[in-house]
A and B are shown apart, each in its own frame.
Chain A
Amino acid sequence: MKIKNKAKMDKSKHKAKHTRKAQQEIFGFVIIVMLILVIAVIFFGLALQRAINNPTYEQYQKANDLLFVMMHYTTDCKNKELSRVIELCISGDTCKIEGNEISACDYMRDVFSEILNVTLGNETQLLNRPIHGYWFRINDGELLNISAGNLSGNIAVGYYVVPLTEGSVTAELWLYY
């Protein structure tokens, strides 16, 4: 009787040992799978972060080009370039436009706004994406600060230093696309 019970106990111990071993192996396999999944998730997360566009040569070039051409546009204010009208604004001068005297600063704001609205229409694109907003300022916004559209998303920035008789001012153009 004792021998039979002992045999039975040995058999059940043996079975339990087997089951435990199988469970350990499955557990080990699950750990490997989870490790690989975690590595894959981290990997794809990093890849997605790098996929965000960084500004490139073409993007800055467009903003800088536009600033340059704006500054060299010949206005109706004493037939001076827009960069010279900035100087008139600083000195508090006026412009005679179609017989009316208006402040050089007001005229400068109107012309810059008009140029930006016309040049940055729906057709203008950066990296095949339309420009949907802009922010333009001269001398950190002290002389001029205009913006339009949706000011969010990717940004391309251009700078232009306007030389004056005494010193200089900096114009910044932020294009949002």
Chain B
Amino acid sequence: MKIKIKHQEKVRKAQIQIQEMAFVLVGLFLLFAFAFLGFAAWQTSLMKQQATSLRLEKATVMINSLISMPELACSKQLGYCIDEDKLVLFKSYIDKYELLFKSARINYIAVKRIFPKIEDSVECNSDNYPNCNLHVLYNKQDEDTIIHSSFAVLCHYDMFTGNRCDIAEVLVGIKPET
């Protein structure tokens, strides 16, 4: 009888110990699971930041390439300079570059003179040039388009003052990759 009771006590003790072990293991598992979830969330936000940064970098490079095109760039000046006279002519044969813009996912290109400031936005055409401030070269933007901008010098030849350069903003609309 005594031996039986002792044996039963031993079994109960063992069962309790196994139960304790199971609780400890479950608790540890939950802790590690939460830690892993937190790490995964942090990594995801880091990747999103990097994606945004890369997208902006790509857009800046694209704008600089556009400004440096010989069809638009100033002949004498190096750097971010657009020849406004070339720009006006470029509009007439921009459709030949449609394939290039599509492959680069560009669906909007405009050059806006921002200094000296003109209050109203006046789109340039052959009648009002150079007394205008907005050249829209290409416009096929949709709701997904993200507009990126960069500063550039906008120069044109004035018969009284010679070469005159103003400050402009180059606006490029890019469709993000899905």
Residues of A within 8 A of B (CB): 25, 29, 32-33, 36, 39-40, 43-44, 47, 50-51, 56-58, 61-62, 65-66, 68-70, 72-74, 79, 81, 114-115, 118-119, 127
Contact = CB atoms under 8 A, between A and B. Distances in A.
**Which of B28, B114, B164, B167 has the most C-beta atoms of chain A within 10 angstroms of its own C-beta?**
B167
B24 interface: yes
Interface in B31-62: 31-32, 35, 38-39, 42, 45-46, 52-53, 56-57, 59-60
A65 B150 contact: yes
Contact of A56 (B57, B59, B80): B57
Interface string B134-178: 000000000000000011110000000111111110000000000
Contact of B114 (A36, A50, A118): A118
B70 interface: no
A50 B39 CA distance: 14
| Chain A, interface SS category | helix
Contacts of A118: 114-115, 117
Contacts of B52: 127
Given A51-B45, A66-B151, 18 more contacts: A29-B24, A56-B57, A58-B56, A58-B57, A68-B79, A69-B167, A69-B168, A70-B167, A72-B165, A73-B115, A73-B166, A73-B167, A74-B165, A74-B166, A79-B161, A119-B151, A127-B53, A127-B56
**Which of A39, A73, A118 has the most C-beta atoms of chain B within 10 angstroms of its own C-beta?**
A73
A30 to B, nearest CB: 11
Interface in B103-118: 114-115, 117
B73 interface: no
Nearest to A47: B42
A40 B164 contact: no
Contacts of A44: 38, 42
A25 B24 CA distance: 10
B124 to A, nearest CB: 19
Given A57-B60, A58-B60, A61-B60, A81 B151 contact: no
Given A79-B164, A115-B167, A118-B117, A72 B151 contact: no
B129 to A, nearest CB: 17
Nearest to B43: A47
B98 interface: no
A47 B52 CA distance: 19
Nearest to B117: A118
12 contacts: A43-B39, A47-B42, A65-B150, A65-B151, A68-B79, A69-B80, A69-B152, A69-B168, A74-B163, A79-B161, A79-B164, A118-B114
A61 B57 CA distance: 10
A74 B153 CA distance: 10
